[in-house]
Amino acid sequence: MIPQQLIEAKRDGAELPAEDLRAFLKAYESGAVAEEQMSALLMAVFFRGLSEDELSTLTDTMLLSGTLLDFSELPGPCVDKHSTGGVGDKVSLVLAPLVAELGAFVPMMSGRGLGHTGGTLDKLEAMRGFRTRMPLAEFRRVLSDVGCAMIGQTPEIAPLDGRLYALRDVTGTVASIPLISASIMSKKLAEGLSGLVLDVKVGRGAFLPDLEDARLLAETMVGLGSRRSLPVTALLTAMDRPLGVAVGNGLEVREALECLRGGGPPSLREITVALAAEMVVACGLGTDPAAIRSRAESTLESGAALARFARMVEAQGGPGGIDGGRDPCESAPHVEELCADRAAVVEVVDPKSLGYGLIRLGGGRTRREQSIDPRVGFEILVSPGDTVEEGQPLARVHAARAADLIVGRQVALDAIGLVDADGELDSPLPLLLGRVGTDCAPQETSSL
């Protein structure tokens, strides 16, 4: 089938034979299929979806375009977590050392901020000297020595996905459930994992605000793992407000350290412990999630996970002494506390507004090549449903320049919606909204 015929077939809703789709993708890799033709196929997929077999072919072709990692020489199973992205989501910084302390190896490959959502790599790089890029041999050594290592996607892993993602980013085809699923799973299947856990965000601060869309994404990725004998579990978690207090890279590192010391916001701790239990079960190191959650809580309280995180940071070029209280991040020179102008109830804390506000302060990107300021951000001191008194602190703005405080002040006050105490409120979403696992994944998906 020539490229135009294949594009027309998908445009008209036909299911593409595996050999034709695979040949088209390989021709794109070699340059025989033009960017315009690949863009046209992506748009056809965006509107027509993919059958289960088409999705499997796309995922496999991206997976096999690069190196497949093998950690079978390690004396324990490997497990990873992927989040679909949110605001204030610093879970990975706590989760990786925690799960390593519970007995698994965690080779975590993470991403940068995208749109209004933050990125784990940007948070890690807020620590002076921390290296998120390293040769795979060094990544393997840190993983073996420490039990966890955290880097960005390397050029060797699923390079076809990298090219397709860049094309989707400029052609309006990012928000496609089958394309998102294939992109995520092609990279994770390349990691040589014994188990994978997905944190699929739901709510106004997520890429998929609707619960049913998020559930379909989770089911699709769980199904892809099941077809390749990889245990995959997804937790559906709330992103209708920021996770925790801190929004901003350095501030979020400090909050993660609080959690690793046994403190921190209860919401961050609850999500992290729930994901840790799922990861331990997924890689075969336990069968009782409640008992594992209890062990995880005790591990955070003991400081053992903090010590392991400190070892990882130092092994990857970051500052030593974090477990002794050393602050690894620089502080913004200008901080302003914002207070309530009246007695009221917090109706909403809009995570998307805060995410875009962070970009305006210089803590996020509008272009991939931009550098960011890890010092800036927000501390949100209230949650939806809280009653506040006049003069009570609502938020703090951390800015690089005094003039930026004006911008940050407006962003924070607009994001925190206050209503009179006698007004009606919608209840915030529960933190944990559901679970999708291999045992409940759909066996047939006609068109995604």
Catalytic site residue from 60, 80, 89, 240: 80
Q: Is 10 annotated as catalytic?
A: no
Annotated catalytic, 427? no
d(CA 309, CA 208) in angstroms, rounded, equals 31
Candidate list 56, 57, 65, 81, residue with the active-site label: 81
Q: Choose the catalytic residue: 57, 59, 65, 83.
A: 83
Q: Which residues, including other chains, have CB under 8 Å from residue 381's CB and lie 6 or more apart?
A: 245, 393, 394, 395, 396
Furthest CA-CA distance within the chain: 70
Catalytic residue among 82, 201, 241, 295: 82
Instruction: Give the residue among 204, 44, 181 at the shortest CA–CA distance from 117.
Output: 204
CA angle 170, 172, 174 (to 5 degrees): 95
What are the tokens at 201? 């965000």
Q: Which of 51, 173, 181, 183 is catalytic?
A: 183
N-terminal to C-terminal alpha carbon distance within the chain: 23
> Token pair 């809280």 is at which residue?
386
Q: Which of 413, 328, 404, 324 has the alpha carbon at shortest distance from 363?
A: 404
Indicate which residue of 123, 187, 241, 254 is catalytic.
Answer: 187
Q: Using CA of residue 32, residue 36, residue 37, residue 39, what is the dihedral sign?
A: positive
**168 catalytic residue (yes or no):** yes
Catalytic residue among 123, 168, 241, 311: 168
Catalytic: which of 65, 120, 272, 299?
120
Q: Is residue 438 among the annotated active site residues?
A: no
Q: CA-CA distance, 109 to 153, in Å (whole number)?
A: 6
The amino acid occupying position 340 is: A
Dihedral pair phi/psi, residue 288, rounded to 5°: -110, 95
C-alpha to C-alpha distance for 139 and 144, rounded to whole angstroms: 9
The answer to whether residue 56 is catalytic is no
Q: Which of 250, 400, 264, 269 is nearest to 327 (CA)?
A: 250
The active-site residue out of 48, 123, 188, 254 is: 188
Cβ burial, residue 15 (10 Å; 0-12/13-18/19+): middle
d(CA 229, CA 112): 29
- Tokens encoding 405: 């405080």
- Establish whether 82 is a catalytic residue: yes
Active site residue 183: yes
Token pair in block for residue 107: 């080779």
Q: Which residues are catalytic?
A: 80-83, 120, 168, 183, 187-188
